[in-house]
Amino acid sequence: MAFTTLVVTLIILPAALLAETPPPTAPPPPTTTATTEQAPSGVEVEIGMGSRIGRDVSNYQIDSGVLSLTNIGRATPQLLTGLGFSFCEEGSSSSPPNKFCNNALGKKLGVFVSAQFGSGSNQTISGYSIGGTLKLGAHLRFLAGFSEMPIGEVSPGFANAAAQYVTKNPGLFTGINPATLALGGSAPLGAFDGIQTTGTAPASGAAATAGIYYPGSVTETHYRGGLIIGVALPINIFNLFKGNGK
């Protein structure tokens, strides 16, 4: 009887211990959350059109010995190509936005620098601009800033020579006031438009001609400032160089 009781105890005791200890369970698989982040848009390539506003400036070119007024220096559209920089970069999670970037207007503001290209310029680049931008939409920016443009103005020496020559030969220059020519760069818009020049000295005793002889430089390049406004289409730098590769 005692032996039977011992055997039963040895069988029941391990079973009870196994019942009290739950089997180990595998750890739950790690949860993954899909995160989407916009491409950073702090720097953009901006291509658009702009127009200078303010006082018109006479820009002259010499074609076959004739001074001609161009559209550069006036309120004519020019191609703008440059970079734009946003004050508040969208898509960046490095730090929470500040109060300025939480503002509805502040997060739309930025700055730009650009070069200008226009027909009729004496230079390859017709101007340089810097200013501010306003985001009108995902693919449109309004630009306003300050522009410096290289302007071909008549040189002071030629202006004096032209005034003296017209004074001596008024019949060859009907309707042209020599006092106006003497003003040079300050003369009214287009005052020298159509005036002929020559670098060949006239023969002794030769009759006067409509070409004004002047051995020096007829025009000089001066940089003139003014306001510029325009619109541009932004191209995201991240998408241009990295985003498409991913």
State the pLDDT at residue 8: 44
5-61 per-position pLDDT tens digit:
544 444 454 555 445 555 566 666 665 554 444 445 578 999 999 998 888 899 999
The least confident of 47-51, 163-167, 191-195, 236-240 is 236-240
209, 202 Cβ separation under 8 angstroms: yes
State the pLDDT at residue 42: 74
Report the chain's mean pLDDT, rounded to a whole number. 83
State the pLDDT at residue 237: 78
Answer whether residue 166 shows pLDDT above 90. yes
State the pLDDT at residue 143: 97
Q: What is the pTM assigned to this prediction? A: 0.71
- Output the six-digit token pair for 187: 């003369």
127-148 per-position pLDDT tens digit:
999 999 999 988 899 999 999 9
Mean pLDDT of 90-105: 69
Structural domain boundaries in the chain: 43-53+74-148+223-234
Q: Single out the residue of 21, 243, 25, 233 nearest to residue 135, CA to CA.
A: 233
Mean pLDDT of 69-87: 91
What percent of the chain is predicted at pLDDT more than 70? 76
How would you classify residue 170: left for phi > 0, otherwise alpha for psi between -120 and 50, otherwise beta? Answer: alpha
How far, in whole angstroms, is CA 208 from its chain's centroid? 50
Angle in degrees, CA 206, 64, 58, rounded to 5: 105
State the pLDDT at residue 242: 63
Which positions ≥6 away from 28 have C-beta within 8 Å?
none
212-228 per-position pLDDT tens digit:
999 999 999 999 999 99
Mean pLDDT of 89-113: 77
What percent of the chain is predicted at pLDDT more than 90? 59
